[in-house]
Amino acid sequence: MNVFLPTLNQMGFLLLLIAIGYLLVRLRAIPDDTTKALSKLENNLFIPALVLGTFMQKFTVSNFKTSGLYLLVGLITALCCVPIALLCCRLFIKDPYNQKICAYGLAFSNFGFMGNTVVQALFPEIFMEYLVFTLPLWAVAYCWGVPALLIPREEGSSLSLKARLKPLLNPMFVATILGMILGLISPPIPSFVSSTVNTLGNCMSPIAMLLTGMTVAKIDFKKILRIPFIYLITLIKLLFFPALGLVLFLLVDVPQGIAVCTMCVLAMPTGLSNIVIPSGYGMDTSVASGLALISHVLSCATIPVVFMLFQSIVA
């Protein structure tokens, strides 16, 4: 029960922020292109600042040694989630396009926006480790997930290795490397610089949740709520994946931090990239939007339950 109420409270806080983002769009209190502007700000400023601040502050020589393990388990998690996601989608969905959209949603959860927020609030002591853990997930998502599952085939398959690796040179990865270097060598940094980095990093969570609400607000509810397999995929994402994690950690003894990071990644709702990227190519986003909407709403109940079970069974 210890972890259930704080997690439920945290999910209530996140849901309220999502609802505010939703209402701002529905009440036309913000311009139409706010989502695009905030998304760019989030990816180019707030997330890099959060990552930079965290690594600058916490990355030390002793952390450097343990972070290899987090990196490895993160990679294994990504490599396990992908085939399970592909298999589930082939079993339950006939249309190849929807198969890909749902496979991306299952394999790559919202471990960034939502995951960072949840871990920062509930497990702040291992937030840096969580960032290291999710690095391989970002890499697999950028190098394989997006080109293979979200970009139209004719454009995705023609991408060279260099073009596939290029997205890795983004502000978040640059901030990670820079933060690690600054953390390791600990140079004297003026306090106003660290205050600026921390203040910008603190904007990540609220803006990310508002952005989620704004993205959800553009969904045609009547259309997407009638697609039956969306519910099934959501249940697989929110219950089956975390259940697999729980069973695994009952059988295998791993450090607590790694187990928490894995459970966080597995318990999060589906990501928003499978709406944002296909819509950039003018493709249908109704299934992805439906997955995002239903999984985010239901996750407010399932995440606290998953963490309560994790605490009572595994921790």
Partner 1 sequence: MTILISTLGQMAFLALLIATGYLLVRLAAVPSSTAKALSKLENNLFVPALMLGTFMQSFTRESFRTSGLFFLAGSIAMLLSLLIATLLSRLFTKDAYLQRIYCYCLGFPNSGFMGNAVMLAMFPGIFMEYLIFTLPQQILTHAFGVPCLLMPKEAQDTTQTRWQRFKHRARPFFNPMLIAMLVGMLIGILNLPLPGFFKSTVNTLGDCMSPVAMLLTGMIIADIDLGGALSNLKSYLISAIRLLAIPLATLMALLLIDMPQPLRICIVCALSMPLGLNSIVIPRAFDLDTTDAAGMILISHLFSCATIPLVFAIFNLI
Torsion angles phi and psi, residue 33, rounded to 5: -90, 20
Q: How far is the CB of 73 from partner 1 (least distance, A)?
A: 31
CA distance 218 to 172: 27
Residue 49 vs 238, nearer CB to partner 1: 49
d(CA 49, CA 198): 7
Site string for partner 1, 151-170 (x = CB under 8 A): --------------------
Q: Taking CB under 8 A as the criterion, which residues in 7-26 touch partner 1?
A: 9-10, 12-13, 16-17, 20, 24
Q: Which residues contact 303 (CB under 8 A, 6 or more apart)?
A: 7, 11, 118, 267, 268
CB of 168 to partner 1, least distance (A): 17
What is the distance, to the nearest Å, from the Cα of residue 6 to the centroid of all Cα atoms in its chain? 20
First vs last Cα of the chain: how many Å apart? 13
Name which of 202 and 311 has its Cβ closer to partner 1.
202
Question: Pick from 300, 13, 265: which is nearest to 141 by CA?
Answer: 265
Taking CB under 8 A as the criterion, the residue among 57, 63, 170, 202 binding partner 1 is: 202
For partner 1, which is the closer residue by CB, 40 or 166?
A: 40
- Local structure of 21: helix, strand or coil: helix
Q: How far is the CB of 214 from partner 1 (least distance, A)?
A: 10
**Per-residue contact flags (x/-) with partner 1 for residues 98 to 117, judged by CB under 8 A:** --------------------
Q: What is the CA radius of gyration of the chain?
A: 19
Nearer to partner 1, 60 or 195 (CB): 195
Tell me which DSSP letter residue 142 carries. I
In the complex, minimum distance from the CB of residue 45 to partner 1, in angstroms, rounded to a whole number? 7
What separation in angstroms does the CA of 149 have from each of 47, 169, 207? 24, 21, 27
**How far apart are CB 284 and partner 1 at their closest, in Å?**
24
Listed in sequence order, the residues at least 6 apart from 289 whose beta carbon sits closer than 8 Å to its beta carbon are 215, 216, 218, 219, 220, 224, 275
Alpha carbons 84 and 7: distance in angstroms, whole number: 27
Site for partner 1 in 207-246 (CB under 8 A): 207, 210
Least gap, CB of 32 to partner 1 (angstroms): 9
Please identify, using beta-carbon distances, which residue of 32 and 154 lies nearer to partner 1: 32
Binding region for partner 1 (CB under 8 A) out of 156-164, 186-194, 255-263, 271-279: 186-194
State which of residues 192, 222, 228, 253 lies at the interface with partner 1 (CB under 8 A).
Answer: 192
Which of 2, 26, 44, 83 touches partner 1 (CB under 8 A)?
Answer: 44
Q: With binding defined as CB under 8 A, does residue 188 bind partner 1?
A: no
Kindly state whether residue 189 participates in binding partner 1, applying the rule CB under 8 A: no
For residue 282, is it left (φ>0), alpha (ψ between -120 and 50) or beta? left
289, 275, 135, 210 alpha-carbon torsion, rounded to 10°: -70
Nearer to partner 1, 121 or 168 (CB): 121
Work out which of 2, 26, 31, 177 binds partner 1, going by CB under 8 A: 31
Does the protein bind partner 1 through residue 119 (CB under 8 A)?
Answer: no
Is 273:150 a contact under the CB 8 Å cutoff? yes
Structural element, H or E, at residue 85: helix 61-92
Which residues contribute to the site for partner 1 (CB under 8 A)?
9-10, 12-13, 16-17, 20, 24, 29-31, 33-34, 36-38, 40-41, 44-45, 190-193, 195-196, 199-200, 202-203, 205-207, 210
